[in-house]
Chain A
Amino acid sequence: TQLLEQSPQFLSIQEGENLTVYCNSSSVFSSLQWYRQEPGEGPVLLVTVVTGGEVKKLKRLTFQFGDARKDSSLHITAAQPGDTGLYLCAGYNNDMRFGAGTRLTVKP
């Protein structure tokens, strides 16, 4: 059983569409991070959220940390083929635990 559940597991959309992926847990985290991983590479950090209810924007990506610091969402506006990859969330409490990821494919 994953400590962090990510949904959906797979998502395939057309360029220009919007999407939201989710990261849920029954545990409270002191911080939560989102990473993107491309084939043959390690994950690359996108954002760290620390405060419950916090919203961070990174260009077309919007990250939100739940009020109770148990869950998070990532919203992408007007997706581009370059957004294709595996999106991983990771929660930190003494060490970092990762979800299984959402594999996003954006078709041109």
Chain B
Amino acid sequence: GAGVSQSPSNKVTEKGKDVELRCDPISGHTALYWYRQSLGQGLEFLIYFQGNSAPDKSGLPSDRFSAERTGGSVSTLTIQRTQQEDSAVYLCASSFTATVGGYTFGSGTRLTVV
């Protein structure tokens, strides 16, 4: 597609349940990033994929968070046993290279844990 697509756009889940968030990057973009944005805050880096290299998971806040990228394209961010503090907007971005070039962001998934 023309842009980065994220689904669902909104997700309400009960505390303790698992959720999966999906990101379809721009075709041909080798780098893919996940960020988390809490209300009124900047973007918190979560994880970064570059081509076939091992992902940089240094930003994942706990072992309840994991992500994978299949076939160098679609990525899924999984949060297990969700907690209320996981409530945030989860943003995905892709770029043509991992270096200087700017990111194209999706519109995000707003996750609410009740």
Closest 4 A-B residue pairs measured CB to CB? A42-B105, A100-B42, A45-B102, A98-B43
The answer to whether A48 touches B4 (Cβ under 8 A) is no
Query: Size class of A's contact patch?
Result: 20 to 34
The answer to whether A45 touches B42 (Cβ under 8 A) is no
In the complex, what residue of chain B is closest to A88 when comparing beta carbons? B42
Whether B91 is near chain A, meaning CB under 8 Å from some CB there, is yes
Cα(A51)–Cα(B18), bound, Å: 45
The answer to whether B100 touches A92 (Cβ under 8 A) is yes
CB-contact partner of B42 in A31, A42, A50, A101, under 8 A: A101
| Chain A residues with CB under 8 A of B40 | 103
Q: Type the 1/0 row for A16-53, where 1 means its CB is closer than 8 Å to any CB of B.
A: 00000000000000110101000011111100101000
Whether B20 is near chain A, meaning CB under 8 Å from some CB there, is no
Whether B71 is near chain A, meaning CB under 8 Å from some CB there, is no
Cα(A2)–Cα(B42), bound, Å: 9
Q: How far is the CB of A59 from chain B (nearest CB, A)?
A: 18
Whether B56 is near chain A, meaning CB under 8 Å from some CB there, is yes
Cα(A6)–Cα(B48), bound, Å: 24
The answer to whether B106 touches A42 (Cβ under 8 A) is yes
User: Count of A-B contacts with CB under 8 A?
Assistant: 52
Kindly identify, within residues 88 to 102 of chain B, every residue whose CB is under 8 Å from any CB belonging to chain A: 91, 93, 99-102
Whether B108 is near chain A, meaning CB under 8 Å from some CB there, is yes
| Chain A residues with CB under 8 A of B103 | 33, 43, 45, 96
Kindly identify, within residues 50 to 87 of chain B, every residue whose CB is under 8 Å from any CB belonging to chain A: 56
In the complex, what residue of chain B is closest to A10 when comparing beta carbons? B40
Cα(A12)–Cα(B110), bound, Å: 26
Kindly identify, within residues 28 to 83 of chain A, every residue whose CB is under 8 Å from any CB belonging to chain B: 30-31, 33, 35, 40-45, 48, 50
Q: Type the 1/0 row for A81-97, where 1 means its CB is closer than 8 Å to any CB of B.
A: 00000001010100111
Cα(A96)–Cα(B59), bound, Å: 12
The answer to whether A95 touches B48 (Cβ under 8 A) is yes
